[in-house]
């Protein structure tokens, strides 16, 4: 078990480095009662990633699910902002703009740079249109490891198993990366991510994970939703748009204990 936790910490550090290395920690504090928009560009696709220190034996397969993880993220953001005294405004982004925010083309350099001038112009139009004090965009970032063959591209959230470790145990991961756009000098805020990979015990399945159905994978749903909920609330707390403190579980902590 300790080996699994150490591996989780190592991989978590590598993943977080790609997302956090260029982040700017800025504070957003709209006035009490301000309209705060919430938009979601997260994919509904979940993944099982089997990985290790080398590329040999690593693979990634889609996990069939009906969990509505994007809906969980939206609900967490709306509840957290509402409890903080804001008026929450659901915002539907234009399809092309949503796609650019989701795939990173709305930024100078995919996932690591700031928004382009065109992006900020589109955001400013949305802020004015909906009379928003800030706009929260829920999205996922691409995990990054030093070897691109590890194929973390598009690995939004799901289950991670580690080559050479206990096959009965896995780690849940959720690369949830909320962005906050606001008027004024700050413009765009990307809070430090909560780096948490809760352990989960895999039940005896009648099939291999590669062939598992939604019914087989039901054991993942609630712990993963709880992880996403925590990550969204943590990001809002770290940006100071919400003052209620949220703790980020330590990497490798048992799912359900945070």
The residue extents of the domains of the chain are 2-238
pLDDT at 86: 96
Residue 18: predicted pLDDT: 42
Q: What share of the chain is helix, strand, coil (3-state, %, to 5)?
A: 30, 20, 50
- Tell me the mean pLDDT per 10 residues along the chain, length 258: 50 44 53 93 89 70 92 97 96 94 78 77 93 93 43 71 76 88 70 82 86 90 95 90 85 55
Q: What angle do CA 40, 248, 77 make, to 5 degrees?
A: 25
Runs of H (alpha helix) within 165-238:
218-238
178 CB contacts (<8 Å, ≥6 apart)? 73, 77, 136, 137, 138, 139, 190, 191, 232, 235, 236
* Helix/strand/coil for 138: strand
What is residue 146's predicted lDDT score, i.e. its pLDDT? Answer: 35
- Compute the Cα dihedral for 103, 109, 111, 114 and give only its sign: negative
Q: For residue 253, what pLDDT is reported?
A: 64
Answering whether pTM is above 0.95, one says no
Query: What gap in Å lies between CA 39 and CA 161, rounded to an integer?
Result: 31
Each residue's pLDDT tens digit, 154-178: 568 999 888 766 677 888 999 887 8
Q: Is 158 helix (H, G, I), strand (E, B) or coil?
A: strand
């Amino acid at each position: 078990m300790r080996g699994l936790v150490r591996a989780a910490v190592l991989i978590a550090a590598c993943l977080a480095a790609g997302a956090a290395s260029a982040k700017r920690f800025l504070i957003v504090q709209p006035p009490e009662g301000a309209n705060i928009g919430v938009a979601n560009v997260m994919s509904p696709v979940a993944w099982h990633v089997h990985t290790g220190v080398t590329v040999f034996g690593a693979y990634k397969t889609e996990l069939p699910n009906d969990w509505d993880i994007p809906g969980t993220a939206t609900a967490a953001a709306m509840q957290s902002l509402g409890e903080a005294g804001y008026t929450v405004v659901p915002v539907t982004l234009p399809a092309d703009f949503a796609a650019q925010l989701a795939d990173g083309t709305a930024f100078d350099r995919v996932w690591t740079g700031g928004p382009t001038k065109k992006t900020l112009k589109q955001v400013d139009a949305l802020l004015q249109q909906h009379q928003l004090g800030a706009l929260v965009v829920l999205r996922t970032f691409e995990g990054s490891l030093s070897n691109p063959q590890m194929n973390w591209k598009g690995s939004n959230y799901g289950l991670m198993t580690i080559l050479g470790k206990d096959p009965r145990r896995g780690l849940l991961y959720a690369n949830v990366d909320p962005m906050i756009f606001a008027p004024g000098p700050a413009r765009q805020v990307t809070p430090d991510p909560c780096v948490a990979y809760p352990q989960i015990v895999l039940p005896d399945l009648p099939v291999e994970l590669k062939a598992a159905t939604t019914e087989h994978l039901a054991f993942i749903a609630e712990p993963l939703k709880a992880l996403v909920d925590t990550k969204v609330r943590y990001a809002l707390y770290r940006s100071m748009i919400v003052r209620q403190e949220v703790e980020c579980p330590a990497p490798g902590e048992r799912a359900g204990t945070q």
